[in-house]
Chain A
Amino acid sequence: MHSDIIIVGAGVTGCAVARVLSRYEADVTVIDRGADVADGASKANSGIVHAGFDAHPGTLKAKLNVQGAQMYPDLCEELGVPYSQPGALVIGFNEEDRATLERLVDQAEENGVPGVRILEREEALALEPQMNPQVLCALYAPTSGLTSPYEMTFALADHAALNGVKFRLSEEVEGVVRGADGLWHITTDKDEHTCRVFVNCAGVGSASLHNMMGGQPLRIIDRRGQYYLLDRISKLPFEMTIFQCPTKMGKGVLVSPTVHGNLLLGPSAEDIPDELDTSTTAEGLAFVLEKSRLTWPNVAVRGTITNFSGIRAHEEKGDFIIGSVEGCEGAYEAVGIESPGLTAAPAIGEMLGGMIASEQNLRKKAEIEPPYQRKKPFHEMTNDERAQAVAENPLYGNVVCRCEVVTEAEIREAIHRPVGATTIDGVKRRTRAGMGRCQGGFCSPRVAQILSQELGISMLEVTKSGGESRLLTGTIHDAMKGETP
C-alpha cells in the first residue's frame, strides 16, 4: 500500500503530528502495533499539563513544554477534551530543597512560565492542609493543569481521521528501508507499505526504528513508572498537584487529583529491559506508597481501585529529538518524548508537522473538517439535559456502567467515533465504563455484548485490549464436548 506520508506511532505525539498534516493535501497513514491509539505511554502517565518550570532553559523540552501548555486550554475546548488548571506545588523539606526550588523559580522565569513563586510553610499548608506539616516551603505554579492523556489522543486521532488520515492499528513494523525508487519501504506483520515521507513517533520503539532507518545510532532507556489510582470521592484531600523535589530520574512521586476526580499516586522510575513490560511490582508499588507518605502522611490506599504502569521513552542525552533524520532523506522523527511529552505534544505536532509540510512543499487543503464533537457525558448532564437526551435517544436511559454512570448510547457512540473503540479497554477509555470502583465487574459482560453487536463479531472474538486478550475461551457447550483439558 502506498501513502504519501506514513507515521509510525499512534500515541499523543503521532496523532498530534497526523492532525497537523491532515490540513494538507497528502495521503497520511498512521501505523501502530497497539490495538488502539494511545496504547503506549499515552495511556499511562500522570495526565499533568506541566507549567514548564522544570525543563532546562534552552532545551526543546523547555520550549515545547511552555508552548504546549499555552495551547492546552483552547485546544481542549476545541476538541472537547477535559482540562482543568488547579495549579501545582513542589514541596521542600530543608534548606537544600529550598535552593532547588529557588533554582526552579529562576528557571521558570527564563522559560517564560508566569506566576511561579515560593510559598512559605504556613501559606502552603493553608492551600493544602492535608500536606505533610513538616514542609518548609513550596514552589507554587498556578498554571499547572490536568488533562486526560488518552482522551486527548483520541480527539487528535478523530480529528485527523475526519480529515482523511488512515489508521492501521494492531500492525507492527518489522522493517524500514529506503529503496532505489526513492521511497521508504515499510514491512509490517500484515502488509508491505511504501511512502515518500516516513515519520517516526514510535515512543519506546522509536530508537529501534531510527536505527533500522540508518540514522546515527540512538538509545532509548525504557523507564517504567508505577501508579496507584484511588476512587473518586466527593472531597479529595488535595486540590492541586503536589510534586516533591525533582531528582535526576525525573520529577519524582506526585500526589495529584486527576481531571476526572480520582487521586493519583506515582510514578516510580525504574529502567527496565523490556519496552513492553507494563507490569507492576510489589517493590515498585511499595516505593510509590512510601514516597507518597512524605507528601501525604495519612495516605490511604483503602480507596485504591487499580494500579498500573507506563513506560517513558528516555533518550540517553535527555532532550527531545525532533526534526529530520540526518542522512535519511524524507525521514522525520520525534524521539525521546518522555515527560513533559503530553504537555508538549500539541507544540510538537505544529513544529514537526509544519516542518514536514514546508520541506515537502505540501499544499494546504481549501477546507478542513471541524473536530469530532462528542456529546456531553450523561453523568455531567443536568437533569433537564438528561430528560432531553433520553427523549431523543432512549439508549441514554440504559445505564450500563453504574459506578461511572455511563449509558448504552455513549458506549455505542464510542464504537462509532472516527477512530472508534474496538476493545473493552477502548470503550473504557472513551466512556469511563469500567473505570470506577468495581473495575468493570458489573458492566464488562454487557460492554462485550455491545461490542460484539456493533463490530459484527462473536462474543468469543471480543478482546480486552486486542491480540490474544480474549475475554472468553468458548461456550459452555464447546466445553462439554471435551475440547478443553
Chain B
Amino acid sequence: MNRQVDVLVIGAGPAGLAAVIAAKEDGIDNLLVLEREHESGGILRQCIHNGFGLHRFGEELTGPEYAQRDIDRAAELGIEIQTDTTVLSVSHAREVTCVSAKHGLQIIQAKAIVLAMGCRERPRGALGTPGTRCAGIYSAGTAQKFVNLEGYMPGKRVVILGSGDIGLIMARRMTLQGAKVLACVELMPYSSGLNRNIVQCLNDYNIPLYLSHTVVDIKGRERLTGVTVARVDEHRQPIPGSEIEFDCDTLLLSVGLLPENELSEGAGVKLSPVTMGAEVNDALATSVPGIFACGNVLHVHDLVDHVSNESFRAGRAAAAFARGELDDMEEIAVRDGEGVRGVVPQRIRKGAAQGVDLMFRPTSVYKNAACVVTCGEREVARKRALIFTPGEMAVVSLKPDAVAGLDGPVTVRIERS
C-alpha cells in the first residue's frame, strides 16, 4: 500500500472535478484525483464550440472555458490531481492500482471512490457496416481531437454517419475549416442530437440530413474513396434500389456513446443493461459500498451542466460515506414505464430527505406529451413538454415531500395527450 485517502476520484473531466470540489467543500481534505490525460478537463478540452454552462452559469461558454472554471476552483481548494496516470484496477474493497511515469505503480486505499471515467464512442465494428477497412474512417470525437487539439485535418470531403451531437458539431467544424461535408446520415427517423445542433450545425451550412438512411458499403483500398448510403425500412433494413453514392475521403461516425465501465466491472459494480452504466440510488451510490458514479460513466448526458449537478451530489455522498455518515436505508425501485428508457437513479432511499431528479431517454419522439411518475396508483409528479425526443435527456423532479411519501416502486412513463 502506497497511500490511503478519504475520497479518490477517477477522472478529472467535468464529472470528476465537480465531485472532488463538492467533497472538499463538504469538509474532506485527504483527496486525490487520478487523470489519464496530460491535462484536466476531459472531453471538454476539445469541445471548443460554445453552448456550455447556460444552466449552471447562465452564460454561454466554450468547453475549455467551462472546464477551466472547475480546474481553477480545484486549484484554489488545493486539490491534488495526478495527471498522466492510468488506473489499472479498482477492487471491491476500494483498493486502486494505477500507473504513471512520474509515480510508477501505486496502490491506493480509499474510503470512498467516485467513478468519473466518462464514455467512449461506438466504433464502426459495433455497427457491422460492411466494406473495406481503409484509412479515413474516424469516430467524430477522434476527428475532433485531430482538428481542435492537434491542428490537423482528417479529410476534405466528408460524410457523417449518425446524428449524435459530436457528429453535428464536427459537420460545422470541418466546414468552417474548409472541408466539404456532403451529408449527415441517420438510421432512425429522428436525430439523436440536440435540436439546436441540427439547426446551427447542419441547416445553417446547408448540409443535408438524411433520416432513415444508413451507410451500406464503404469503398477504398488504402484511403476511403466513397460510401454507399441507402434508405432503410421500418425495421431499419436497407431498401434495395434506394442507394446513393457519395464520393468522399472521410467518414465520420457519430453513432452513440458507451459509458466506459471496465474498471467498475472489475470492482464488481452492478451495471444496468439499459444505460450500460452503474445502477445507483439517489445518492449516486453503486451496488458496491463506498463506490459512487456520476457523469457519462453513469449514463450518457447531453448537457455538461447536468453532469456537474449530478457529480456535486456524488461528491457530497462520497464525502459523507468517508466520514461514516451515509447510512444504509431501505430503497424503492424506480422502473422504466411506457416511452421511457434508462431512468437514473434506479433506486431511491426511502428516507432521503431531499428532492430527486429522475433522468431518462424517451424511446421515441412524443409531441405535446407529459412525463408522469407514479407510485402504485398514485401520481407523484408530472411534467409537460412540447416535445420529448430520444436526442434530449428528459428530467422530472420529485419534490422532497413526494419522496418522503413513497411507499412502493416508482414508475416513470410518458403519456400522450
User: Residues on A close to B: CB < 8 A?
Assistant: 228-229, 276, 278-282, 284-285, 301, 304-308, 383, 386-387, 390-391, 394-399, 402-403, 405, 437-442, 444-445, 449, 459-460, 463-480, 482-485
Given contacts A444-B142, A445-B145, A471-B135, A386 and B128 within 8 Å (CB-CB): no
Given contacts A472-B152, A485-B156, A391 and B131 within 8 Å (CB-CB): no
* B120 contacts A442, C-beta separation under 8 Å: yes
* B125 contacts A441, C-beta separation under 8 Å: no
* B101 contacts A484, C-beta separation under 8 Å: no
Binding site secondary structure of chain A = mixed
Q: Looking at B132, B138, B155, B221, which has the most chain A CB atoms within 10 Å of its CB? A: B221
Any chain A CB within 8 A of the CB of B417? no
Interface string of B156-191 (1 = CB under 8 A from A): 110000000000000000000111100000000000
* A479 contacts B123, C-beta separation under 8 Å: no
Given contacts A301-B128, A441-B142, A459-B152, A476 and B36 within 8 Å (CB-CB): no
Smallest distance from the beta carbon of A132 to chain B beta carbons, Å? 22
Given contacts A397-B102, A439-B123, A463-B135, A472 and B153 within 8 Å (CB-CB): yes
- Residues of A within 8 Å of B58, CB to CB, are none
Which of B104, B216, B238, B250 sits near A387, CB closer than 8 Å? B104
Which of B101, B120, B123, B216 sits near A390, CB closer than 8 Å? B101
Docked complex: B112-146 residues within 8 A CB-CB of A: 120-121, 123-126, 128, 130-135, 138-139, 141-142, 145-146
Which of B101, B121, B125 sits near A307, CB closer than 8 Å? B125
28 residue pairs A–B, Cβ–Cβ below 8 Å: A279-B131, A279-B217, A282-B216, A284-B130, A306-B125, A307-B130, A383-B107, A386-B99, A387-B105, A395-B101, A397-B101, A397-B102, A397-B103, A397-B104, A405-B88, A438-B120, A441-B141, A463-B135, A464-B135, A470-B135, A473-B153, A473-B249, A475-B152, A476-B147, A479-B177, A484-B156, A484-B178, A485-B180
| A-B CB pair tally, cutoff 8 Å | 163
Interface string of B210-250 (1 = CB under 8 A from A): 00000011110111000000000000001000000000011
Q: Which 3 A-B pairs have the closest CB atoms?
A: A306-B125, A397-B101, A399-B86
Smallest distance from the beta carbon of B412 to chain A beta carbons, Å? 25
Q: Looking at B125, B132, B154, B223, which has the most chain A CB atoms within 10 Å of its CB? A: B125
* A441 contacts B156, C-beta separation under 8 Å: no
- Residues of B within 8 Å of A403, CB to CB, are 262
* A441 contacts B222, C-beta separation under 8 Å: no
Smallest distance from the beta carbon of A440 to chain B beta carbons, Å? 8
* B133 contacts A482, C-beta separation under 8 Å: no
- Residues of A within 8 Å of B86, CB to CB, are 398-399, 402, 405
Complex alpha-carbon distance, A483 and B178, angstroms = 8
- Residues of A within 8 Å of B131, CB to CB, are 279-280
* A276 contacts B221, C-beta separation under 8 Å: yes
Complex alpha-carbon distance, A214 and B150, angstroms = 53
Nearest chain-B residue to A379 (Cβ)?
Answer: B88
Nearest chain-B residue to A405 (Cβ)?
Answer: B88
Given contacts A405-B88, A485-B180, A441 and B139 within 8 Å (CB-CB): yes
- Residues of B within 8 Å of A449, CB to CB, are 150
Any chain A CB within 8 A of the CB of B60? no
Complex alpha-carbon distance, A398 and B180, angstroms = 37
* A473 contacts B155, C-beta separation under 8 Å: yes
Smallest distance from the beta carbon of B291 to chain A beta carbons, Å? 19
Nearest chain-A residue to B155 (Cβ)?
Answer: A473
Complex alpha-carbon distance, A430 and B278, angstroms = 34
Binding site secondary structure of chain B = mixed
Smallest distance from the beta carbon of A476 to chain B beta carbons, Å? 5
Complex alpha-carbon distance, A440 and B138, angstroms = 9
Excluding A441-B139, A474-B152, 10 further A-B contacts by CB distance (< 8 Å) are A229-B125, A280-B131, A285-B128, A383-B97, A397-B105, A463-B135, A474-B153, A482-B178, A484-B179, A485-B157
* A445 contacts B150, C-beta separation under 8 Å: yes
Smallest distance from the beta carbon of B97 to chain A beta carbons, Å? 6
Smallest distance from the beta carbon of B268 to chain A beta carbons, Å? 12
* A386 contacts B133, C-beta separation under 8 Å: no
Smallest distance from the beta carbon of A402 to chain B beta carbons, Å? 7
* B142 contacts A445, C-beta separation under 8 Å: yes
- Residues of B within 8 Å of A279, CB to CB, are 130-132, 217-219
Any chain A CB within 8 A of the CB of B29? no
Given contacts A307-B130, A308-B133, A438-B120, A475 and B101 within 8 Å (CB-CB): no
- Residues of A within 8 Å of B219, CB to CB, are 279
Nearest chain-B residue to A480 (Cβ)?
Answer: B178
Complex alpha-carbon distance, A457 and B318, angstroms = 48
* B135 contacts A465, C-beta separation under 8 Å: yes
Smallest distance from the beta carbon of B156 to chain A beta carbons, Å? 5
Any chain A CB within 8 A of the CB of B272? no
Any chain A CB within 8 A of the CB of B62? no
Nearest chain-A residue to B150 (Cβ)?
Answer: A445
Complex alpha-carbon distance, A306 and B101, angstroms = 32
* A473 contacts B156, C-beta separation under 8 Å: yes
Given contacts A304-B126, A473-B249, A464 and B134 within 8 Å (CB-CB): yes
- Residues of B within 8 Å of A304, CB to CB, are 125-126, 128
- Residues of A within 8 Å of B216, CB to CB, are 282
Any chain A CB within 8 A of the CB of B100? yes
Complex alpha-carbon distance, A282 and B216, angstroms = 8
- Residues of A within 8 Å of B99, CB to CB, are 386, 390, 396-397, 399
Complex alpha-carbon distance, A480 and B147, angstroms = 12
Smallest distance from the beta carbon of A379 to chain B beta carbons, Å? 9
* A477 contacts B128, C-beta separation under 8 Å: no
- Residues of A within 8 Å of B222, CB to CB, are 463-469
Nearest chain-B residue to A282 (Cβ)?
Answer: B130
Smallest distance from the beta carbon of A233 to chain B beta carbons, Å? 9
* A476 contacts B153, C-beta separation under 8 Å: yes
Complex alpha-carbon distance, A472 and B126, angstroms = 24
Complex alpha-carbon distance, A484 and B250, angstroms = 14
Complex alpha-carbon distance, A441 and B145, angstroms = 10
* B154 contacts A473, C-beta separation under 8 Å: yes
Smallest distance from the beta carbon of A314 to chain B beta carbons, Å? 22
Any chain A CB within 8 A of the CB of B84? yes
Complex alpha-carbon distance, A10 and B128, angstroms = 30
Complex alpha-carbon distance, A480 and B146, angstroms = 16
Complex alpha-carbon distance, A281 and B124, angstroms = 14
Interface string of B378-403 (1 = CB under 8 A from A): 00000000000000000000000000
